[in-house]
Amino acid sequence: MKISNKYLFLACSFIAGTSVAQSQFIPEGKWRGVFHQPNDTDVPFNFEVKGKSAATAKIYLLNGGERFETGGITQKGDSLFVAFDQFDNEFALKIGDKKLDGVLRKKDHSGRITPVEANYGISYRFADNGEKPAGDISGKYDVLFKGRNGTDEKKVGVFKQDGNKLFATFLSITGDSRYLEGVVQGNKFYLSAFIGSGAAYYTGTFDAAGSLTGTASGQPFNATKNAAAALPDPYKLTYLKDGYQTFDFTLPDADGNKVSLKDAQFKNKVVILTIGGTWCPNCMDEATFVAPWYKKNHQRGVEVIGVQFERKTDPAYVKNAMENFKKRFGIAYTEVFGGLADKKAVAESFPALNTFLSFPTIIFIDRKGNVDKIYTGFTGPATGVYYEQFIKEFNDEVDHLIKG
């Protein structure tokens, strides 16, 4: 859809910093938002407001079983700004009577804007049209996504249907699509998700034979139900080149201090090296697991180093991004800056690796500095039993390395 004059006016007003006398804060409770996409598609999402002022309130984005907290909230008159720090995005919204109108945009006001509106007191995601589901599509699927550049990508789809409600995620060798939530109406299904970056939107149809056909934000896919659907072993995708056994680097932390695996802090320690970025949703899931795990286990002789590859290399930007990430996830382990978020750049920074496929990637290093295993991607909490399996394997590997 074309951006209406209303949204252009709102965007210009926000950019100019227009404000009026302080208005009342938005009501606490459930809200339903809708993104108006350029292709005339409306993508819904849900959020909840807790608190009675911008200074004290928290806003949680709701996707499936997840409550994902946004960043800072600022109010200037009848204008509301909600930050999504990990993505350099923000909402710029005009406060109305139990209604919000505005845009999702970059904090620096560069790039495109996406019109958004939200209404208070609505808890559903997709409106119920009264049509009962034609079947139950719960289960695992072999999924083939058609690539825009002529290449296809295989994934595993995991669907759980409860009445007309639908929850799903898609696993790939690089990670998963996190929490998708939606509805089944007749033989059609709809799913969406939003945590501050772009909105995810999946829609499709299914038949009695257990096949799905659909699109993911415009990318076509086909899926066939298969209880044995699986991906390649994540421990066999990334490995050290012939001639390499140990792994080392020297990189700066957020303050510019050089950090190396040869430092005394890591000597005779089991080291878990995570390669990711503060902008990466699966890396956020990884940090949510690793940060508390480290606090419970580092006294066993374990250290963690997070290597962050960022969208910009400006020192002030990097420092702010890394410190925000550290604060949000309660990170107590060492973090360093790897460079620009580019897979080729990562491969050049770590020439011992045969390739680099995914943010994040986890490298397990023994007490002698030898690489024992490398795990490509991350299987997050939205994947259920896959996440439980990852946690078990992670702990088993660390136990093995500690025992030596």
Task: Specify the pLDDT at position 20.
Answer: 42
SS3 of residue 381 by DSSP = helix
Give the chain's domains with CATH numbers.
5-120 (2.40.128), 139-225 (2.40.128.120), 250-403 (3.40.30.10)
Q: Residue 133: is its pLDDT beyond 60?
A: yes
pLDDT mean over 220-225: 98
Contact status, residue 176 vs residue 282, Cβ threshold 8 Å: yes
Kindly compute the dihedral angle of the four CA atoms of residues 96, 99, 101, 105, in this order, to the nearest 10 degrees. Answer: 120
pLDDT mean over 74-85: 97
Spatial distance between the Cα atoms of 166 and 124, rounded to a whole number of angstroms: 12
3-state secondary structure the chain: CCCCHHHHHHHHHHHHCCCCCCCCCCCCEEEEEEEECCCCCEEEEEEEEECCCCCCCEEEEEECCEEEECCCEEEECCEEEEEEHHHCEEEEEEECCCEEEEEEEECCCCCCCEEEEEEECCCCCCCCCCCCECCCCCEEEEEEEECCCCCEEEEEEEEEEECCEEEEEEEECCEECCCEEEEEEECEEEEEECCCCCCEEEEEEECCCCEEEEEECCEEEEEEECCCCCCCCCCCCCCECCCCCECCCEEECCCCCEEECCCHHHCCCEEEEEEECCCCHHHHHHHHHHHHHHHHHHHHCEEEEEEEEECCCCHHHHHHHHHHHHHHHCCCCEEEEEEECCHHHHHHHCCCECCCCCCCEEEEECCCCEEEEEEECCCCHHHCHHHHHHHHHHHHHHHHHHHC
The pTM of the whole model exceeds 0.85: yes
Contact status, residue 140 vs residue 227, Cβ threshold 8 Å: yes
Q: Please tell me the number of Cα atoms within 13 Å of 400 on its side-chain side.
A: 10
Q: What is the pLDDT of residues 244-288, one digit of tens each?
A: 988 889 999 999 999 999 999 999 999 999 999 999 999 999 999
Spatial distance between the Cα atoms of 298 and 294, rounded to a whole number of angstroms: 5
Q: List the single range of 2-6, 334-338, 355-359 with lowest mean pLDDT.
A: 2-6
Q: How far apart are the first and last CA of the chain?
A: 60
Please state, in angstroms and as integers, the Cα–Cα distance from residue 246 to each residue in 236, 243, 259, 302, 375, following that order: 17, 10, 16, 17, 16
User: Residue 98 — pLDDT band, cuts 50, 70, 90?
Assistant: very high
pLDDT mean over 353-363: 96
pLDDT mean over 356-364: 97
pLDDT mean over 311-334: 97
8-state DSSP, 71: -
Residues 6+ apart with CB under 8 A from 233: none
C-alpha closest to that of 39 among 184, 299, 215: 215
**What does the mean pLDDT of the chain come to?**
94
| Separation of CA 343 from chain center | 18
pLDDT mean over 2-18: 52
Spatial distance between the Cα atoms of 299 and 400, rounded to a whole number of angstroms: 16
Task: Specify the pLDDT at position 19.
Answer: 44
- Looking at the chain, the whole-number percentage of residues with pLDDT higher than 90 is 88
Q: Residue 361: is its pLDDT beyond 50?
A: yes
Q: Residue 13: is its pLDDT beyond 60?
A: no
Task: Specify the pLDDT at position 246.
Answer: 86
How is residue 234 written in tokens? 């994540």
Spatial distance between the Cα atoms of 384 and 115, rounded to a whole number of angstroms: 33
Task: Specify the pLDDT at position 149.
Answer: 76
Residues facing 28 on adjacent strands: none
Task: Specify the pLDDT at position 16.
Answer: 46
C-alpha closest to that of 277 among 84, 18, 87, 60: 87
Selected residue with higher pLDDT from 28 and 347: 28
User: Residue 22 — pLDDT band, cuts 50, 70, 90?
Assistant: low
Burial of 382 (0-12, 13-18, 19+ CB in 10 A): buried
